[in-house]
Amino acid sequence: MWFFQARCDDIVRQREFLPKIRKAGNCWILFGAESDSNSTLRAFNKNINPEDTKRAVKLLKENDIFAQATFIIGERNDSAESIAKMREFTNDLDPDLAIFMILTPFPGTEVYEKAQQNGWIEDKNWSNYDMVHAIMPTEHLSREEVQEELYECYRSFYGSFNRRLKGIFSKNKLKRRTYRYMASQGIMNQLKSLF
């Protein structure tokens, strides 16, 4: 049993290898979906599009490979509406596991340089530079609102009783084990009621 990280466009482009890697023991691929917005994906220099993400999840599920997708909120143009749209996209996409993160201006990155020049960084406590704490606001949301949007992303995805039930009884062994573990530890309810 093995795992790796990939780009969603590479999953689509190399789809003929998916049955082979599954046969060789691969059961889990993590990829960055990041956003449902082409403009946000361009701002992140990802060179992918939401259609690649949709196709990648479909292909992974067809090949019984656990699909873990990551998403980023807090891009400068993000608003409550744009993040709600991303949550809807994520719920429709229905990856096996979704991880949501907040855009964090790590020193040495282009994001940091731009944020520093424009005075967007409001939190200089390095222990909060973990992609879970909001470090800077967007044009439309305060840091506190960005933080609440992160919690809402988790509540929206993992708060679905139907998704939890399907996960617990999934045919995919890794998904079934993951969701049963999360249920046994009360993680689902904790995510649903975050703050």
Distance CA 195, CA 190 (A): 9
What pLDDT does 191 receive? 59
pLDDT at 193: 59
pLDDT over threshold 50, residue 17: yes
Handedness of CA 126, 131, 133, 136 (dihedral sign): positive
pLDDT at residue 195 above 60?
Answer: no
The two three-digit tokens of residue 6, written as one number:
């990939």
Question: Which residues neighbour 41 within 8 Å (Cβ) at sequence distance 6 or greater?
Answer: 34, 35, 47, 48, 49, 50
Point out which residues pair with 5 in neighbouring strands: 30
Q: Name the domain count of the chain.
A: 1
pTM tops 0.85: yes
**Cα dist from 41 to 37, 92, 156, 163, whole Å:** 6, 19, 22, 27
Q: pLDDT for 68-119, tens place per residue?
A: 999 999 999 999 999 999 999 999 999 999 999 999 999 999 999 999 999 9
Specify whether the CB–CB gap between 143 and 137 falls below 8 A: yes
Instruction: Describe the crossing of helices 143-158 and 161-168 by its angle, rounded to 10 degrees.
Output: 50
- How far is the C-alpha of 40 from the C-alpha of 75, rounded, in Å? 7
Enclosing domain of residue 112: 2-192
Domain harbouring 37, CATH code: 3.30.750.200
- Structure tokens that stand for 87 in this block: 């949550």
pLDDT tens per residue across span 136-175: 999 999 999 999 999 999 999 988 889 989 999 999 999 9
pLDDT in tens, 27-55: 999 999 999 999 888 888 888 999 999 99
